[in-house]
Amino acid sequence: MNPVLREHQTAKPLKLGLLGSPLKHSLSPVLHHTALEQLSSIGQYLLHEVSREWLPLLIDQLEAEGYRGLNVTIPYKMDVMPFLDEISETARHAGAVNTIIFGKNNTRYGENTDVTGFLKSLPQSFLADAHKQSVMLIGAGGSARGVLLALLKAGGCGVQSVTIISRNIEKSKNLVRQLEQVAADPACKTRFISKELQKLTVDDFKNKTALFNSTPVGMWPDCSGIPISEACIAQLHPDALVYDLIYRPLQTQLLSVADKYCLTTMNGLDMLLYQGIASLEHWLGQPIPERAISASRQAMLTALNSE
């Protein structure tokens, strides 16, 4: 018998899970169970929907039960940070954790794989001209932070500019201040602007080359929502990329309107895939082969199309 396969079969079952609320929409179990099957690994990935006041107690409980790690999603990517012993530089710069690794360096360790997942999902055409990209980002929460840090790294020197749109102007201004400290490296040329959602005009969108939505507006079950008006979308550059981090549904109202103007569109499925694979690599301590990645993506698409 192959010694690697024997090791997988005799090892204790891997315990993994996801913290957040709500979680009924999550495809993470499909992703991870498929990848583990491809690796001949015995394990389970469970959803743990929890209220904010019970969050630290649940983390304690799952660690005591022998969990190897946890993913963290809306709305707790920032909330979990005080309950961790050590946080990676990427997570610290992003100001958010989406992956907890129990036992790394004998600690409760926090990582952010949203940055890796988002960067890997971006089209090569966008990355090749990153220094020319003038970007609009809707949202200033935990997911937005991972996206912003990735945009600082895109193409090696970051995008040209990012306008952060939020309902809470103080929240976006605070995020800008944090990012400007991260972007102090002379190699980084990115300029940050904060805008209040209620005070946006269509002119703010004129000739912008990319629009990213990191809010849950338009996500299942309220699929009718759209985070900005069609008039704003119409002002984007004709070759603009419109990227909605939502993956359920695959075609949000935002993407449908963008399609109407023949813009390049992307949903959040590939970001989910690549951030999840990066988390699994941290938990297993090994790279995940392409066959497992492809199988996980297909399984998620099948699950979505069967609904």
Q: Which of 285, 234, 239 is nearest to 103 (CA)?
A: 285
pLDDT, residue 206, reads 97
- Name the helix (H) or strand (E) containing 256: helix 253-260
Helix (H, G, I), strand (E, B) or coil at 303: helix
Lookup: tokens for 230: 């069609």
pTM: 0.89
Q: 3-state class of 101 per DSSP?
A: strand
Check residue 9 and give its pLDDT: 42
Element (H, E) at 193: strand 191-196
**Residue closest to 109 by CA, chosen among 91, 127, 129:** 91
Structure tokens at 266: 């992307």
pLDDT of residue 172: 84
- pLDDT by residue, tens only, the chain of 307 residues: 333 433 444 467 899 999 999 998 899 999 999 999 999 999 999 999 999 999 999 999 999 999 999 999 989 999 999 999 999 999 998 888 999 999 998 999 999 999 999 999 999 999 999 999 999 999 988 788 889 999 988 988 899 999 999 998 888 888 888 777 776 666 677 888 889 999 999 999 999 999 999 999 999 889 999 999 999 999 999 999 999 999 999 999 999 999 999 999 999 999 999 999 999 999 999 999 999 999 999 999 999 998 7
Burial of 127 (0-12, 13-18, 19+ CB in 10 A): middle
Q: How far apart are CA 85 and CA 96, in angstroms?
A: 14
Tokens of 93: 């710069």
List residues bridging with 9 in a β-sheet: none
**Which of 253, 168, 299, 148 has the alpha carbon at shortest distance from 210?**
148
Catalytic one of 12, 15, 24, 77: 77
- pLDDT score of 178: 79
Q: From residue 131, give the alpha-carbon distance in Å to each of 28, 137, 144, 225, 300.
A: 33, 16, 20, 32, 33
Q: Kindly state the DSSP code that residue 97 receives in the 8-state scheme.
A: -
Distance CA 51, CA 257 (A): 35
206 in catalytic set: no
Backbone angles phi, psi at 233, to 5 degrees: -60, -35
| AA letter at 36 | L
**Whole-number Cα distances in Å, 306 to 222, 247, 302:** 19, 14, 6
Provide the token pair at 254. 């935002």
Residue from 158, 151, 162, 161 nearest 185 by CA: 158
Closest CA to 278 of 91, 10, 108, 84: 91
Which pLDDT does position 184 carry in this prediction? 64
